[in-house]
Structure formats: structure tokens, C-alpha cells
Amino acid sequence: MDRVFLEISNVSKTFPGVKALDNVRFDIRPGEVHALVGENGAGKSTLIKILSGVQPPDEGAKILIEGKETQFAHPIDAIKKGISVIYQDFALFTNLTVAENIGINETIEQKKKVVSWRAIQKKAKDALDFLNVQIDPNAIVENLSVAKQQMVAIASAVAQDAKMIIMDEPTSALSRGEVERLYEIIDLLKEKNMAIMFVSHKMDELFRVSDRFTVFRDGQYVGTTDADKITEEELIAMMVGRKIEVKRYANLEEKGEVVLRVENLSKKGNFKDISFELHAGEVVGFTGLVGAGRSEVAQAIFGISPADSGVVRVGDEEVHIANPAQALEKGIAYIPESRQTQGLVLPKTIADNITLPLLRTFANKLGIINREKQMSAVDEWIKMLDVRPNDPTMLAMQLSGGNQQKVVLAKWISTKARILIVDEPTNGVDIGAKDEIHKILRQLAKDGTAVMVISSELPEILSVSDRIVVMRRGRITAQMDNDAVTQEAIMQKALV
């Protein structure tokens, strides 16, 4: 495994006002998993775009594939050189069949005017057989589970004769069982001598799959090390430049009045007989396996998809919330799981996103926005949440995942809601930003907000929650104070 497939050096990338990469290097060998790690904003996504031909590097960059210097002018150039990327959203044509998705790149690349459906079917079957995956080539992709869609994306890379596959946060939407299946596929790809560049923030999976780590910090190369020669704590220190301790913030002594009471809330096919309370000044963590109904409960309370029956009380008032606008009027804010598709308007600025729910408060009687007043408020929120870069005119799409999440938090915290529901608050966020977001949520509770946190990550639930609610198949199976609770105890209730 000494032979090198890809080697880069002196790679930089400059955007207006930002140097995303500064003379970084990286190499990968056939048959290994080499993890690229670092905080959000470290430059990982920028390097992926360069290696996939989406963006060119600055002058002076050197990229060698199998010892030969090369350049990518277009994503197809990277594919021809054997590099494929499995993005978080898989980049599939969901209205087409599995076979069409697997065979479409070759059709486009070769500019074929006549399509051989028999050849496309064979290519798809061969790729799926290579992975030992049982998926109907004629199935429409949008009808498949997330895990199967991911397998289609990997099969597409195999069909393109990929020698290197880049996996960007590949487990973010998978259940535990599906993650284990992905591990099996990665092991198989290694056996087939493929090089895998693995990008993730989850320490357990990084150490499960990786042979080596390369660490970036603030767009610069920090170091490369064998996975078996470094501890989790040492890797985190390399990533963030400081020691991060996982804290338990639980405060079981101080909490205020009940501000939200849910009684026997039910929605057919989603959840049944859900009852719990939220107190001012506390964080209640909701957890369980994927599909347990946690997000559906939150969306019912917020009026996105109202329940069929049951009672919701805000304070002493029984409320009937039919839409999010009514929820906001009652002092309830909801931060959805997907910040990019549901939480942000990506082509808009940081300032526009943060003040979106409050535009009326910055307008005069004629509806004209007082920009000075708006920007003053935005500057305050940016400073409070340490959004980086601290430029309110920067587009949301230009921010790292962690800073995008901070903008979403600022957007809803600025409404001064009494009840804040946060769904997967640190999904795809690095460990440093995760710690900062946990501190923000705890400070909100300290200031009197009732916070409901939905998370699939048990360390996060144990870190941030005062009380823990466990769900399984649409029902609550346990409610417990976060006092000497273990991950094993939670999983036991999630699997009852």
C-alpha cells in the first residue's frame, strides 16, 4: 500500500476577502481510508471542490495522479481521472431509475445520441453486484430509503471506474444499522484497492474506518498521522488548537414554571399519546432511533404538520396551532434539522437571514426598512454567537456548516421566544462549534427559555440536557433526569 494514487502540494484557494486554503498538502494510497478532518471552515469542502473539478486552485498548485501532474477544468475531468464524490445529498436524479442514475454519467461524458438501455441495465447490475447490494435497477430513486440512495451513488462511482471515492459526511442521515452496512461497503471497497477520502465530524466513525488522518485548521495543513498512533483527545486538539472537554451541563436544581404542556398528542402514522412538560430554564433532550417520531412531534407543536388529537398548552392557555405564524405568536420557535433547505435562505446575506422573522420591527409606517437599526441588531447577534467571518454582508451559502448553524440560531433566538425547539442542532458541525452551540443553548436556558433539543447523538443528549425523553416507534418509552444516566441505559429504552 506504499504506492500513491493522489498527491497534492502547495494548494491554495482565495476568495474575495477570504483565503480558504493556504498551501495545503494531502496524499492518498490505493486500498486505504484517509480521513480529512478539521473544524467547519478548515477548508475541507474547498479541497473537495478542487479535487472534483468544481473549482480551480490558485496558481502554483501541484496535483499528481499516479505520479503524473494534472489539472481539472471540469468535474468530468476529475471523473475521467478516477475521482468520484459522494455528496451529503448524493446528487442523484431522484425522478429517474436506479439504472439511469448509474449509467447517465457515461452517456453525458461520451455525448451519446442513441442510448443503449440494455447496456445501461448491465452496467447498473454489474455495479450493484460489485457492492453486493440488492436494489432493483428499475426502481425510481425517490422511492428508495436514504441508505439505498447512498448505495446507488456509490454504485454510480463504481460504474465510472472510480479509483478514489470522496465521502462527505456519509452517515449524517443514516440509522445505526445503515451505518454498519456502510462500514461493510467501505471495507469491501478497500479490499478492491480503492482509495477513500473520508470526511466526517464523528469521532467514533473516524476511528472505525480510517487508516490515516490529515488535519486542516483555518485553511492550513496541520499534520498527517496514522490512526493507530493517535488518541481521540489528541486528534481533537490538532483540529481545534486547544483541548476540548466534553461537559455535562445538567442542572436539576433550578427550573421555572411549566411553559409548555403536551397531553396525549397523536398523529396517525407518526406518533401516539405523547405527553410531557417543558419548564422555563431547562433543556429537555429528545432522542431515539431514526424514525422514532421525534421531529414529527416538534413539527406538530410548531404547526407545520398539526396533530390529529391531543392538547397543547402554552402556560395556562390551551392553544390550537395550525401554522408556524401562530406558533411564533405564542412564543414558540423551531429550528429545523436541515439548515440548508429549511433554516436558511442561502443566496441571502447573514443580515437578511438573521432578521427575516423580525423585518417588521425594523420598518417604519411606510414599510421601509431602517438599515442602520437592522445592522446594529445583526452586529449584536453576530458578536454574541461569534459568527465567523463577522461580516453581515456575506452570503449564508459562503459560511461553514457550524457558522450557518449559528446564523439559524441567531435568527430564532432574536425572536425572544419562550420555547425554543432545536432539531439536530449540531448535525454536520465540528467538535469546536458543537461545544459553542451547547453553551449557547445552556445560556438560553439560564436566561429563562425552555429548550427542547432533538438529537440522535447520545453524547450530545447527555451533555446538553437536564431531562431526557426517549422515543421509539412514535411513543415515549422513558423520561428520566440526566443524573448518572448512561448511553447504554438510553439505548435500552430506545430498543424496548
For residue 103, what are the contacts with CB-CB under 8 A and spacing of at least 6? 119, 120, 123, 124, 159
More confident residue, 292 or 210: 210
Same domain, 207 and 290: no
* For residue 21, pLDDT beyond 80: yes
Same domain, 418 and 376: yes
Give the tens place of pLDDT for each residue, 378-437: 898 888 878 888 899 999 888 877 788 888 888 888 888 999 999 988 876 777 778 888
Final residue before a domain boundary, out of 240, 272, 293: 240
More confident residue, 85 or 173: 85
Q: Is residue 26 part of a domain?
A: yes
The share of the chain scoring above pLDDT 90, in percent, equals 54
Q: Is residue 1 part of a domain?
A: no
Q: Is residue 251 part of a domain?
A: no
Kind of pairing between the strands at 33-37 and 212-217: parallel
Give the tens place of pLDDT for each residue, 31-76: 999 999 987 778 998 999 999 999 999 999 999 999 999 999 889 8
For position 127, what pLDDT does the model report?
A: 92
Check if the beta carbon of residue 109 is closer than 8 Å to that of residue 156: no
Same domain, 281 and 417: yes
Find how far residue 15's CA is from the centre of its chain. 24
Final residue before a domain boundary, out of 207, 240, 273: 240
For position 1, what pLDDT does the model report?
A: 46
What are the DSSP E strand ranges found in 295-449? 309-314, 317-319, 332-335, 419-423
Give the tens place of pLDDT for each residue, 293-307: 999 999 999 999 999
For position 387, what pLDDT does the model report?
A: 84
For position 242, what pLDDT does the model report?
A: 66
Q: Is residue 248 part of a domain?
A: no
Angle value at C-alpha 149, between 108 and 118, nearest 5 degrees: 45
Same domain, 216 and 282: no
Same domain, 232 and 351: no
Q: Is residue 61 part of a domain?
A: yes
402 vs 444: CA distance, rounded Å: 18
472 vs 466: CA distance, rounded Å: 20
Average pLDDT over residues 6-15: 95
CATH number for the domain spanning 485: value is: 3.40.50.300
Same domain, 294 and 264: yes
Same domain, 295 and 219: no
Same domain, 192 and 301: no
Give the tens place of pLDDT for each residue, 350-365: 999 988 887 788 888 7
Same domain, 206 and 304: no
**Phi and psi based region of residue 172 (left: phi greater than 0; alpha: psi -120 to 50; beta: remaining):** alpha
Same domain, 304 and 450: yes
Same domain, 164 and 303: no
Q: Is residue 114 part of a domain?
A: yes
Q: Is residue 353 part of a domain?
A: yes
Average pLDDT over residues 221-226: 96
Q: Is residue 350 part of a domain?
A: yes
User: In angstroms, how far is the first alpha carbon of the chain from the final one?
Assistant: 45
More confident residue, 291 or 148: 148
Q: Which three cell numbers stand for residue 220?
A: 492550513
**Average confidence score pLDDT of the chain:** 89
Which range marks the domain in which residue 281 is found? 258-494
Count the neighbouring beta carbons within 10 Å of the beta carbon of residue 463: 23
Q: Could you give the number of structural domains in the chain? A: 2
Same domain, 288 and 229: no
